Amino acid sequence: MRVISRLLGVAYGRIQFTPDLMPSDVVGTTVFDQRSATFSLRRGPVFCNVLLADEINRTPPKTQAALLEAMEERSVTIDGTTYELPAPFLVCATQNPVEFEGTYPLPEAQLDRFLVRVRTGYPSPADERALIARAVAGFDARNLDAMGVDAVVDAAELLAAQRAVRTIHVAESLQGYVYNIIAATRSSADVALGASPRAALGLIVATQSAAYLDGRSFATPDDVKNVAPLVLAHRIIVRPEAELDGTSADAVIAQILASVRAPEE
């Protein structure tokens, strides 16, 4: 994420989530100055453009909830006062999928605020061998200056691109297709909790983004199909009996995409 922040020309922040982390360690707090007899704001690491919440599932739900307002409203409230966060604002989080001791499940409300979930596995054999070779040659991924990583855009250009994404045309028939997919997650016999209205809006934005990156001014059903697994799989809860039969959220979304009829382009 440091590389992405550098490329975007925006401020980077990182929080190492631990079991003893407090909400004030995320958003900040007010401090009383005895000399001036006034309170001043001590900003937390959330006041940045790109925030990395590292191993977010290692902190209790109370502290995880400190990010809810930031992720939805792009603001935080400290001692009754609301402060706007810098624009643009992006939260990226990691989870440790191996060690479950000392971890906490992410609340559904928080999962619903993440636009996409991406699973990262091992690199390909060729990439891993190249990684080893670069390390032997002295490559240091922490030294961004030596890597020659420079900004390719700035915050203003990034905000302009975000506005341009929202101008991508989504036909009424495609809007109906998105709704039908969302509705199918709620009626599936394998799903205990289907996708929310926020998920529907997220699927629309991700669809527009896919079209924008492809250089088109309009979205297609293929755009929806390509991004739907990333947007929806982490937002639904599979029934325990279905999980025991080997059904995963990804499999449910794949089945829904195969069964819901797409509009004619």
- Tens-level pLDDT at each residue, the chain (265 residues): 888 898 899 999 999 998 899 999 999 998 888 888 788 889 999 999 999 999 998 888 888 888 999 999 999 999 889 999 999 999 999 987 666 666 788 888 889 999 999 988 889 999 999 999 988 988 887 887 777 788 889 999 999 999 999 999 999 999 999 999 999 999 999 999 999 999 999 999 999 999 999 999 999 999 999 999 999 999 999 999 999 999 999 999 999 999 999 998 6
Q: Which residues pair with 53 in a beta bridge?
A: 15, 93
Q: Do residue 9 and residue 109 come from a single domain?
A: yes
Q: Strands 237-238, 28-33: parallel, antiparallel or unpaired by DSSP? A: unpaired
Q: Which of 114, 148, 174 is the last residue of a domain?
A: 114
* CA angle (234, 240, 246) in 5-degree steps: 80
Q: Are residues 169 and 91 in the same domain?
A: no
How far apart (Å, rounded) are the C-alpha atoms in residues 249 and 229? 9
Q: Which of 160, 198, 175 is nearest to 262 (CA)?
A: 175
Cβ atoms within 10 Å of 187's Cβ, excluding its own: 9
Of 58, 81, 52, 57, nearest to 69 by C-alpha is 81
**CATH number of residue 237's parent domain:** 1.10.8.80
Pair 109, 171 in one domain: no
Total domains in the fold of the chain = 2
Residues 6+ apart with CB under 8 A from 131: 123
Which range of residues forms the domain containing residue 6?
Answer: 2-114
Q: Is residue 8 part of a domain?
A: yes
Residues 187, 101 within the same domain? no
Is residue 103 located within the same domain as residue 200?
no
Q: Is residue 242 part of a domain?
A: yes
